[in-house]
Amino acid sequence: MKIKRFEAPSMAEALRMIKKEFGDDAVILSAKNQKKSNGFFGASSGTQVVVTAAIDPTSAKQALQDRRPDDVLPQQTDRPADPSRPMDGIARMLQRFTPITRTGQKKLQPKFVRLMNETLESTAQATTEAPERTIYEHLRAQGLSRAVASELADKIVDLNEQDTPLEDGSVVALSQIIEAKGWVAPTRPRHDRRQRIIVLVGPNGAGKTTMAAKLAAQAVLRANEPVALLSLDDQRIAGTAELQKYADIMGLPFETASVPEQLSAAMKNLSHTPLVVVDTPGIAPNDTARQEALSRMLKTLPAAEVHLLINAGAQQMVISRTIDVYKQVGINRLLPTHLDWCRHLGAFVNQMHAYPWPITFLGTGPQVPDGLESLTSRRMAAMLLARADDAACQAEPEPAVTMTRRQSAPGLQGQYVANRNSDIFHDRACKSVQRINNDNAVIFKDPTDAMQQGYKPCRMCCMALFAPKPIDRLASLRFASSRN
């Protein structure tokens, strides 16, 4: 690109110089006014316009070759400018804003700046309007490596014979590939009466204790299955007490153990419980002693499902290191958590491509038991192809439970909504409902139920629910007589 600086007494003269030097395809890089210093002892002797312009020599040479002999001099025409070119070169600016007087010269510069801003905005808009992404690009956007994304995209195209992720066939094809690779492990059927042991391991803060409560609550409330909770967390302050509190609320058996002998005795006491959920302490990456101790503890549970909990928002390097630390313990499944913050599973797919560890559950929120979802191959395929609007790939319908459903404000089923942190309830159409957090929303079918639980009606949307106060006739007469 050729860049040159032009100095002229006015903007019009500078534009003519640029047009004569570079032609209509020149690009203005900057334009400013500056004072001349040609006077005596550097005294100012007026102002001048300094414009920096540039042109691509290749495009200018090609334009010169394509020009006809009779086009040597540009002719003024009334044809509309090409809409694909926002300014149509400097010729269009000269036609529209060539100043005639000094006042016109002063008015040229702000108009010129405005035209340059319009050019930049239109160019940015053109670059952001990218074409529809292919299957490979969708997979790469989910965090899959180049090799894994390329392999899956080729297989999807072979099965679906159409390279577009917006077709249902792409989701079906990817779900078939996921099933063939064994990346999703289904939950055990209810008719299987063998004891099932679920062990939750992972670094500190991954949500193991909360996940244990979710698993137990869903088994009790939705499957009506006997559950027991077992805690091996003897490191975190009140770690055992927190899980015991969940067990007391749900009325579940609870055991603790810190050595293999105690764990064997606890499992003997829970031998008749169909489902046992085990919570473990977090391990530091360099603490090999605790890694070996936890490995010895889990060897007493040979048929256990050992789920490694990892934050889905963690970087690929952090996930890889976490797996390197916990694969010595004997993990056999992965469990992504915090999917309410990050909906990408690409980093876990990369690990499952290298290790034979499938996914059974997803941690989708902190609520107990709603923040837990059983993963299916169709659901995983829809997430990898960013098909959140596909109704068929949503979580499987769950039986109703006797718990308050926390829903977003637009989807509330009740007529009245209250905030757990206040004592006021609102009509569904009240604007205050939009400011209530989903976790704090309480839904009522009628105002009587809300008032029985101690909530008061809103004075903005529920004025009809307030009982009218009786009018004191004597006081009103006294007030009227006092005014007379």
The length of the chain is 484
Work out the pLDDT band at 142, boundaries 50, 70, 90: confident
Q: CA–CA separation, 13 vs 189, rounded Å?
A: 84
What pLDDT is recorded for position 482?
60
Q: Are 282 and 206 in contact (CB under 8 A)?
A: yes
What's the pLDDT band for 29 if we cut at 50, 70, 90? confident
State the CATH class of domain 185-375.
alpha beta
What's the pLDDT score for residue 306? 92
**Residue 347: Cβ within 10 Å count:** 24
Q: Give the model's confidence band at 389: pLDDT under 50 very low, under 70 low, under 90 confident, else very high.
A: very low
The pTM of this model reads 0.54
- Residue 151: name the closest of 191, 180, 123, 127 by CA: 180
Residue 7 vs residue 44, higher pLDDT: 7
Residue 268 has pLDDT above 70, yes or no: yes
Please check whether residue 201 is in contact with residue 329, taking contact to mean a CB–CB distance below 8 angstroms. Answer: yes
Q: How far apart are CA 187 and CA 196, in angstroms?
A: 10
The string of DSSP letters for 244-289 reads HHHHHHHT--EEE-SSHHHHHHHHHHTTT-SEEEEE-----TT-HH
pLDDT in tens, 305-347: 999 999 888 888 888 889 988 988 888 899 998 888 877 888 8
Residue spans of the domains in the chain: they are 2-128, 185-375, 409-465
What pLDDT was estimated at residue 37? 64
> CA 370, CA 393: separation in Å to the nearest integer?
18
**Do the first three CATH levels of 185-375 and 409-465 match, i.e. the same topology?**
no
CATH 3.30.70 fits 409-465, yes or no: no
Band (pLDDT 50/70/90 cuts) for residue 33 is confident
Mean pLDDT taken over the chain? 75
* Tens-digit pLDDT profile for residues 43-78: 556 788 888 888 876 655 555 555 544 444 444 444
**Both tokens assigned to 86:** 């926002």
